[in-house]
Amino acid sequence: MNYMLRDENAIYYECGYSSDNALYLKLGSEAYFLTDSRYEIEAKALVRDAKVVIERNLYTKANEILKAATIKKLHYDPKEWTLFAFEKITESLTITLQAEPDLSHKKRIIKSADELEIIKKAVKLGALAFDQLAKEIRENGFKKSEYNLTYMAKTALSSYGEYELSFDPIVAVNGNAAKPHALPTPDKLHKKDLLLVDAGLKYQRYCSDRTRTVYADEELTFGVEQKFKSKKIQKAYDTVLKAHDNAIEKARSGMKANEIDALTRTVIEKAGFGDYFVHSTGHGVGLDIHEMPYIASKSDTVIEDSMVYTIEPGIYIPNEFGIRIEDMVTMVDGKVEIL
């Protein structure tokens, strides 16, 4: 297949290096990595299996290479391209341009043994960071705002700058946790509050992703066993944990993604919280924090061994509280292994 890539992670997957200004062309047996002079030293040292082309105007140069190539069809992912960049590169081309949405994600959906080892390391580091964050909250987190707590989470997850974050952490107290992608507010954490933290870090560019919802007291931990004073919150929490565990126990390779989604959704619906589970059960994780497979009610993707995805059911009751429990898993010998 002949194809061109613009997305940074997609390019990295192909040749082991990328930058924020790069293009990748795969044309038959030839591959080209195009970037500008700011990245010349690193590119020439790190790019594998591709010719490094240093050029100020990447679009014009890519157009020249494509016009000189003896190919009839070129595939591309329309999600990667701005209209301006696409038109510049494809100007006056006579070859057939074939849109292939999620081109790179489809190639990356089955993780290699090496990728799985890197992801496992990312997850382990992320879990250790959660333990460190719990310690810091116990010692210095109460009466601090969500802004302050988010900063604490960034510091713990990055290990003071050693690791990149998978995404900006979500740190939400009580009613703000009812927003699945809550932004921090001036609201402060007090003892006996509900606290939701969704965060992850990158190791060798691969992401981790984890969510815990906890009862905040002087013994605060991010374990899954939590006891709340409110019976309503406890019922919702126990329901989410049951849904989470049900999917982990019963998911199998060969099932469709929507069947795994149903393993969480059915539990939550039977408990009377169906209207408050407002997102899908999970998503793939790798070089991108969200990639294939998507564990959703409308997804008929067949789940296979060595796929990596999250299990993260949730219940969100507006203006009251939100609960989510999330772990990353992979499929090994047909069954779920928690990473």
Long-range contacts formed by 290-298: CB under 8 A, 24+ apart: 291/105, 291/108, 291/109, 292/102, 292/105, 292/106, 292/108, 292/109, 293/109, 293/257, 294/257, 295/257, 295/260, 295/261, 296/257, 296/258, 296/261, 297/258, 297/261, 297/262, 297/265, 298/258
Query: How far, CA to CA in Å, does 127 sit from each of 164, 222, 237?
Result: 15, 9, 20
- Give pLDDT, residue 321: 98
142-157: pLDDT as tens digits: 999 999 999 999 999 9
Detail the DSSP E strand segments found in the chain: 3-5, 22-27, 30-35, 51-54, 73-76, 96-99, 170-173, 193-199, 202-203, 206-207, 210-216, 282-284, 291-295, 308-311, 314-317, 321-324, 327-332, 335-338
Q: What is the mean pLDDT of residues 213-232?
A: 97
Query: pLDDT band at residue 273, thresholds of 50, 70 and 90?
Result: very high
Kindly tell me the burial class for residue 89, based on how many C-beta atoms sit within 10 Å of its own C-beta (0-12, 13-18, 19 or more): buried
Read off the pLDDT band of 225 (50, 70, 90).
very high
Find tokens 């992979």 and name the residue. Answer: 330
Q: Tell me: domain 3-107, CATH 3.20.20.70, correct?
A: no
What proportion of the chain, given as a percentage, has pLDDT over 70? 100
Q: What are phi and psi of 225, to 5 degrees?
A: -85, 110
pLDDT for 294-316, tens place per residue? 999 999 999 999 999 999 999 99
Residues of the chain with CATH 3.40.350.10: 3-107
pLDDT averaged over every residue in the chain: 97
Span 101-149, pLDDT tens digits: 999 999 999 999 999 999 999 999 999 999 999 999 999 999 999 999 9
Topology given in CATH for the domain delimited by 113-338:
Creatine Amidinohydrolase (3.90.230)
Residues of the chain with CATH 3.90.230.10: 113-338
Q: Cite the beta strand spans of 131-173 per DSSP E.
A: 170-173
Please report the pLDDT score of residue 42 as a whole number.
98
